Amino acid sequence: MAFEPPTADVERAGVGDRAGLSPVLRRAFSTDASEFEPIPKPGPHDWLAVHLESGQTFDEFKASHPNRPSDSRCVIYLQPLGDFPADRSPAIEKLREFASAFFAIKVKTLPAISLAGSKSTTRHNPNTGNLQILTGDVLDFLKARVPSDAFCVLAVMMEDLYPEPSWNFVFGQASLRESVGVYSFARYDPAFYGEQRTRGYATLLLRRSCKVLVHETGHMFGLAHCTFFNCLMNGSNHLAESDRRPLHLCPVCLHKLQWSIGFDVLERYRALERVTRADGFDDEADWLSRRIEILCREADVKK
């Protein structure tokens, strides 16, 4: 059966019981807020036309006993792998800042490691000839050196990836059980497809890289793909679909992440607004300003 966008009742059921929460949290998780766009009906090549996902409600998320940060395992580590040439790569520090604001927990960058240093298998793609790294080898490398205070370790790289010889490529891969993942930003650069890098491409590349980083890290917290709203946690089958997703979470996914981490939603929105404004993601920063204003009114505090 084809995917049908959910009704208001389904959205409300998705977010779970809000009784007993503070007024700010109740408002933050309200599905009636006009700041959240409905999930669009999928086109023929879009994720939900190809993958029949039924979604994950807040209650189902909780019942899945997802990994949660604890006092002893509370740091997200970024492991740069290979070169990040300044003229065609997102700045690692920018990625770290964004992830840190997004999850409101400590994000640290590990010293960069060369591709040779990771001892990963490489190949030249049989069709395109570009260099690719075998994901399983990178994950094995990470598993062997997870810092003791790590919630998860995520390798990021500018080289392309493949999961097994019969595959053409993969954007990334993770092991939730081992809390390690590897993601490539190679295919977020227009030049990868032989297209011109237009003005503003650095912002576009950074935005795409931030988006994939926090989406995939969201999976590390046990968040499944979202089918309730237009949301960062929507699945995506291709770059155009991924570009349509916002950088923010819908009320259902925000409730999940807040339950997991326990952050102050207003403080988190403020930190994200600062970072997105500085990074030039103006539409997101404006969206966050509106949310902050609404939640401040609810909290009845001075801005």
Residues lying near Zn ion in the complex (CB under 5 A) are found at 226, 231, 233, 250, 252-253
d(CA 251, CA 26): 10
State the minimum distance, in angstroms, from the CB of residue 173 to Zn ion. Answer: 11
Which burial class, exposed, middle or buried, applies to 131 when counting CB atoms under 10 A from its CB (0-12, 13-18, 19+)?
Answer: middle
- Full strand arrangement of the beta sheet holding 150-157: 106-109, 75-81, 150-157, 180-184, 172-175
Quick one: 201 or 259, whose CB is closer to Zn ion?
259
Rounded to the nearest angstrom, the gap between the alpha carbon of residue 60 and the centroid of all alpha carbons in its chain is: 20
| Residue nearer to Zn ion on the CB measure, 60 or 149 | 60
Task: Please give the C-alpha separations between residue 115 and each of 78, 110, 125, 198, in angstroms, as whole numbers.
Answer: 15, 15, 17, 29
- Closest distance of CB 51 from Zn ion, Å: 10
Q: Which is nearer to Zn ion, 80 or 235 (CB)?
A: 235
- Residue 175 has phi, psi (to 5 degrees) of -120, 105
CB burial string 194-209: b at 16+ within 10 A, e below: eeeeeeebbebbbbbb
**Token pair in block for residue 90:** 């997102």
Residue 298: CB minimum distance to Zn ion, A:
21
Catalytic residue IDs: 216
Least distance in Å: CB of 39 to Zn ion? Answer: 8
Contact 294, 33 (CB under 8 A): yes
CB of 44 to Zn ion, least distance (A): 20
Our CB check for Zn ion shows the closer of 75 and 176 to be 176
Q: Which amino acid is at 291?
A: R
Outline where the chain has alpha helix (H). 8-15, 23-28, 47-50, 58-63, 92-103, 135-143, 201-220, 239-244, 251-261, 265-279, 282-299
Quote the least distance from Cβ 231 to Zn ion, whole Å.
Answer: 3
Q: Read off the tokens for 230.
A: 């237009």
User: Quick one: 77 or 229, whose CB is closer to Zn ion?
Assistant: 229
Stretch (H or E) spanning 124: strand 122-124
